[in-house]
Homo-oligomer: A and B are copies of this chain.
């Protein structure tokens, strides 16, 4: 959470600002002054008006005068970041082109029931999935629809969950690591529960 600490706001203004942000995140619309009044445990709208005025002067919020619940938080609304070009990670060096499009990360997040798993270990290292990475997974409804070569998270009851390449051959399931140090696991379809298939990898440095 973004706690506003290092700014030029008084405690009262800060408390109100944080509450407003939280309210607007939850409800997708602005609170009314009287709601803020109650939330701040006040019994008159005047102090709220004063604090809002200060927040507005300092550039934190804005609203349409006279209109009900028209507050906006003046803040960078980010759904993506600009893609500034491509970089060479090889021998030949490519040019750095400016501002083509936007990288939208949230599209993956908007898929239904997406969940994340943190990766332990290095068995997927050859697929460039390292220890500590977060993998974003989409639930698998139908185990029969999984394509060979998909990376899945699978639970073998009694053992636990693992991230592996999925292969199916002659009625048998093979879960293969992307690391030659590990042997493939061979299973029957009814011995394993597939939780999700890999959508994306996220690594924060």
Q: Which residues of A contact B (CB under 8 A)?
A: 2, 24-25, 27-30, 32, 67-73, 76-96, 103, 105-106, 108-110, 112, 114-125, 128-131, 133-136, 151, 153, 155-156, 159-164, 177, 182, 195, 198-205
Q: Report the bound CA distance from A109 to B159 in whole Å.
A: 37
Closest CB in chain B relative to A188 CB, distance in Å? 17
If A117-B84, A199-B205 touch, does A72 touch B29 (CB 8 Å cutoff)? yes
The answer on a CB contact under 8 Å between B69 and A136 is: no
Q: Which residues from B are CB-within-8-Å of A78?
A: 106, 109-110, 114
Name the one of B86, B90, B114 contacting A182, with C-beta atoms under 8 angstroms. B90
* B203 touching A89, Cβ below 8 Å: no
A-B contact pairs, 13 of them (CB 8 A): A28-B72, A28-B73, A80-B109, A83-B134, A84-B117, A88-B163, A89-B122, A89-B163, A91-B123, A93-B161, A94-B160, A96-B160, A200-B204
Task: Please name all residues of chain B whose beta carbon is closer than 8 Å to the beta carbon of A162 when the two chains form the complex.
Answer: 87-89, 93
| Contact A86 to B200, CB < 8 A, known contacts A106-B78, A160-B96, A161-B93 | no
Q: Is the CB of B128 within 8 A of A130?
A: yes
Q: How far is the CA of A89 from the CA of B165 in the complex (A)?
A: 11
Given the known interface contacts A128-B125, A160-B94, the answer about A119 and B28 at a Cβ–Cβ threshold of 8 Å is no
How far, in angstroms, from A84 to B125 measured CA to CA in the complex?
21
From known contacts A69-B68, A105-B109, A136-B81, infer whether A87 and B117 are also in contact, taking CB-CB under 8 Å.
yes
User: Which of B87, B112, B128, B156 is the one whose CB lies under 8 Å from A153?
Assistant: B87
Contact A129–B128 (Cβ < 8 Å): yes
Residues A83 and B116 in contact, CB atoms below 8 Å apart? yes
Instruction: Using CB atoms, name the residue of chain B closest to A109.
Output: B78
Query: A84: nearest residue on chain B (CB-CB)?
Result: B115
